[in-house]
């Protein structure tokens, strides 16, 4: 119990980093995932091909390798730098890697949603003179989003938990790494371990609850 009190501030700061990573990556992943799915259903073969290639490569690469590529490849080798402060720099490299990775799952969830929208919706949109992008934005994607709110919730839960491998991108301040660091000093502490598990569940359980509730509320009646 003493350990818990002594290390709690560090662990809490680490956990807030997990939350911060989750929020930022969540936003980027949703935006990038929407762009990717738009490419994958675009009438232009080049865009479709590029979207498919990206999704298939990134989605099938282990996250730890994506993060390692982000820090070792993009930053150390190519010289992509977000900040002169190493911890800030690695934070944003992790944001880049995790967003790029999660976006592929967002894309595929949305694509499943698009497949549930009847073809007649797109035809009616075209028939009143909407362009491809307009019909995607106003007719297809809003309906697709509503059908995949629950699966997107699962994607977000997975992403929140994935923030604990930020170490692979060189970021050392999130809670799971702080915990292991602590255990190196103090030996394994079960209360700290359970405390961190509960902290994550306090975030992920509501995400699951809210998205399932939203899913039934937003369902499109046909």
Partner 1 sequence: MTEPDDPSPLVSLEGVNKSFGTLHVLKDINLSVARGEVVVVIGPSGGGKSTLCRLVNRLETIDSGTITFDGQELPAEGKALARFRSDVGMVFQSFNLFSHKTILENVTLGPIKVRKIAKAEAEKRGMELLERVGIASQAAKYPAQLSGGQQQRTAIARALAMDPKMILFDEPTSALDPEMVQEVLDVMTGLARDGMTMMVVTHEMGFARRAADRVVFMAGGEIVEEGRPDEFFTDPRTDRARDFLSKILTH
Binding site for partner 1 (CB under 8 A): 43, 118, 120-121, 123-131, 134, 138-139, 142-143, 146, 220-222
Of 188 and 219, CB closest to partner 1? 219
Of 137 and 161, CB closest to partner 1? 137
> Distance between the two ends of the chain, CA-based, in angstroms?
56
Of 77 and 131, CB closest to partner 1? 131
Smallest separation (angstroms) from partner 1 to the CB of 125? 7
Of 8 and 138, CB closest to partner 1? 138
Q: Encoding tokens for residue 140?
A: 């297809």
Smallest separation (angstroms) from partner 1 to the CB of 213? 18
- Give me the count of residues in the chain: 222
Half-sphere exposure of 113 (CA within 13 A, CB side): 28
Residue 170 buriedness (CB in 10 A; 0-12 / 13-18 / 19+)? buried
Residue 117 DSSP SS3: coil
Smallest separation (angstroms) from partner 1 to the CB of 113? 12
Smallest separation (angstroms) from partner 1 to the CB of 218? 9
Give the whole-angstrom CA distance, residue 175 versus residue 169.
Answer: 15
């Amino acid at each position: 119990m003493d350990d818990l009190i002594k290390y709690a501030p560090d662990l809490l700061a680490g956990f807030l980093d997990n939350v911060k990573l989750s929020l930022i990556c969540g936003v980027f992943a949703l935006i990038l995932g929407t762009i990717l799915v738009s490419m994958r259903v675009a009438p232009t073969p080049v865009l479709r091909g590029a979207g498919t290639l990206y999704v298939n490569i990134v989605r099938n690469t282990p996250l730890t390798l994506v993060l390692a590529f982000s820090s070792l490849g993009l930053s150390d080798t190519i010289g992509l730098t977000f900040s002169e402060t190493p911890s800030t720099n690695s934070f944003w490299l992790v944001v880049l890697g995790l967003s790029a990775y999660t976006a592929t799952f967002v894309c595929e969830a949305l694509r499943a949603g698009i497949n549930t929208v009847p073809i007649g919706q797109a035809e009616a949109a075209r028939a009143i003179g909407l362009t491809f992008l307009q019909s995607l934005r106003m007719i297809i994607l809003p309906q697709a989003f509503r059908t995949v709110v629950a699966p997107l919730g699962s994607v977000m839960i997975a992403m929140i938990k994935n923030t604990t491998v930020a170490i692979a991108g060189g970021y050392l301040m999130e809670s799971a790494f702080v915990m292991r660091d602590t255990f190196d000093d103090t030996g394994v502490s079960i209360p700290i371990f359970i405390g961190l598990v509960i902290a994550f569940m306090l975030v992920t359980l509501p995400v699951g609850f809210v998205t399932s509730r939203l899913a039934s509320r937003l369902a499109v009646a046909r």
